[in-house]
Homo-oligomer: A and B are copies of this chain.
Amino acid sequence: MSKKYVVVGGVAGGMSTAARIKRIDPYAEVLVFERDENVSFSNCCLPFHLNELIVSSCDLVLMTPEKLKKQYNLDVKVLSEVVKINRDEKSVTIKNVKTGETYDESYDVLVLSPGAKAIRPKSIKGVDNKNVFVVKNVGDVDSLKRYIDDNKIDDVAVIGGGFIGLECMVSLREAGKNVTLVEGLDQILTPMDHDIVQILHKEIHDKGVELILNDTVTEITDNEITLASGKEVKAGAVVLAVGVTPETSLAVEAGLEIGSTGGILVNHHYQTTDPSIYAVGDAIEVTDFITNKKTRLTLAGPAQRQARAAADHMFGRTYRNTGVIGSSVIKIFDYNAACTGLNEKACQEAGIEYDVAYVIPKDRVGLMPEANPIHFKLIYQVPTGQILGGQSVGKGNVDKRVDVIAAMIMNRANIEDLKELELCYSPWFGTAKDPVNMAALVATNLLNGEYKQVRLSEVRSLVESGAMIIDAREAREYEEGHIKGAINIPLSEFRQRLDEIPTDKPVYVHCLSSQRSYYMVRELTNRGYSQVYNIQGSFLAISCYEYFTDITTGREPIVTNYRFDLL
């Protein structure tokens, strides 16, 4: 005897659960309620309508209720908001969004997939003005685009430097708008670390977007926004992308328990505290694979897996709940940026001792067309060498490298394993030693105490304190741009100039991308110099790291020339 399943929410998690239930039991009665007018739309593609990369917003809607009925035999009702769960009667109350009429529908099993709603901070004066938009569904992006087009708006402000804000920023800029991005923290894209995102700050700046960090919006009017700093920015339309909060009101009202992170509490099977009620997607609390701590994660992949797991459990099928690692990727103009696992801040918060390898090799053989530097950062546990996280920024295939790290993390692999990992190679696609292998070599060397490094964030103070910095590049390279005060002792000459290198004080060595300096540091260390440090990332990374703050604060640069021509 098949049961009756009611699903609240018709996007990623909800629709996946419904479809899976039907695949397991074609006789099941499955009802899906969605309060908006569309189901099964491509949430992640919304920003790409703004520059007409996706020309019609209709294309964002992948399935209609009619098609879902015909193909999958699913009953989907749109513009139907579930306003109440009547747990005792095992029914839900549904409101017709257009007419306001309500009715009850019984369930044997209820699935909550209400998603998360965009935060609209009441502290911002004018946050509800007609020129302020969030981007959560097709209607939102449609209204935003229409408002900009109809009112011929040239100046748009995007508030929030997370994934949605950044993607809207790119699309709007590519649509020819004057875009300002305002972010309250000292960096965009907080899943990644402060050092590696500096390249993205530069890219955003270079593409003509005004990027404002460390500032927040206090007031929005028809044609400008005012920031906490007092700064005023022209903006005819405002995209609000300051984060989301799980849609828990229905669950709270029904007395279901909410977790410590604010998401709906679920067990291993994605059941809420009422075993007849499951919850999946952006509204729930999940477990971090590495730290074992509770967290929230608004990503489509995990939502789909949760949906499948929940449906499976309804039919007595067992399932492995792995927890999440948080893998993501974004395209920001000409750069790609990807990350997985823990970043430095997350390690610190979890009290995990860690170290970092940061390499900048080419993403394919240097002789090949479009070979570009790839910034790759590997975070690993000290003293175990367990891989904790990976981050990569570059014009090329960063997602490949980070996906490999994701696979290594979920297999609880070690930097020793990564060092030996045999990956595909041909000159079009990579290098014989892939950047991930290279990072693992650096990491094992560091962990084994083969040599010592200093981090990018330490270089400025080294320069300012007059530390001994050696530039291991050739004289010609040095002349074209170098760290102020650095002494040029090329790798090709240092054995004849050993007397210039002091043994009684720290010496910091760099080259262009730390390969030549690594050789020099190794050899000096082996020759008995005990205070020699390699500067992580070397000149290329230092240039990227310093640039954006230099130009926005007007501080004195520590390099004579950034050499971005080499990027």
Q: Tell me the A residues contacting B by CB distance below 8 Å.
A: 12, 22-26, 42, 44-45, 48, 53-54, 59-60, 67, 70-73, 163, 299-305, 320, 322, 324-331, 336, 338-340, 365, 367-369, 397, 399-400, 402-404, 406-408, 410-411, 413, 416-417, 420-430, 432-434, 437, 491-493, 495, 516, 519, 522-523, 526-527
Contacts and interface: CB of A to CB of B under 8 A. Distances in A.
Nearest to A289: B422
A495 B71 CA distance: 9
A301 B399 CA distance: 21
Given A397-B400, A407-B411, A410-B417, A422 B367 contact: no
A341 to B, nearest CB: 10
21 contacts: A12-B432, A22-B523, A23-B519, A23-B522, A25-B526, A44-B425, A45-B427, A48-B367, A70-B492, A301-B425, A304-B433, A329-B426, A329-B429, A331-B428, A336-B428, A336-B429, A338-B424, A397-B400, A400-B400, A404-B404, A411-B413
Contacts of A399: 397, 400, 424, 429-430
A320 B420 contact: yes
Nearest to A303: B432
Contacts of A42: 365, 367, 427
Contact of A526 (B24, B70, B367, B432): B24
A116 to B, nearest CB: 16
Contact of A71 (B331, B516, B526): B516
**How many copies of the chain does the oligomer comprise?**
2
Contacts of A339: 424
A71 B422 contact: no
B403 A328 contact: no
Contacts of A519: 23, 71-72
B25 A331 contact: no
A44 B432 contact: yes
A408 B303 CA distance: 23
B423 A403 contact: yes
Contacts of A12: 432
Contacts of A71: 491-492, 516, 519
A327 B402 CA distance: 18
Contact of A523 (B26, B54, B421, B426): B26
Given A71-B516, A406-B424, A53 B400 contact: no
A422 B406 contact: yes
A327 B523 contact: no
Contacts of A336: 428-429
A4 to B, nearest CB: 18
Contacts of A331: 426, 428-429
A497 to B, nearest CB: 12
B432 A301 contact: yes
Nearest to A425: B301
Contacts of A328: 424-426
A534 to B, nearest CB: 13
A425 B428 CA distance: 23
Most chain B CB neighbours (cut-off 10 Å) among A60, A67, A430: A430
A107 to B, nearest CB: 22
Contacts of A495: 73
A433 B301 contact: yes
A480 to B, nearest CB: 19
Contacts of A24: 526
Given A23-B523, A432-B304, A423 B327 contact: yes
Given A336-B428, A410-B420, 18 more contacts: A12-B432, A67-B492, A163-B426, A301-B437, A304-B433, A320-B416, A322-B422, A324-B422, A329-B424, A329-B428, A331-B428, A400-B400, A403-B404, A403-B434, A404-B404, A406-B424, A410-B417, A410-B421
A60 B397 contact: no
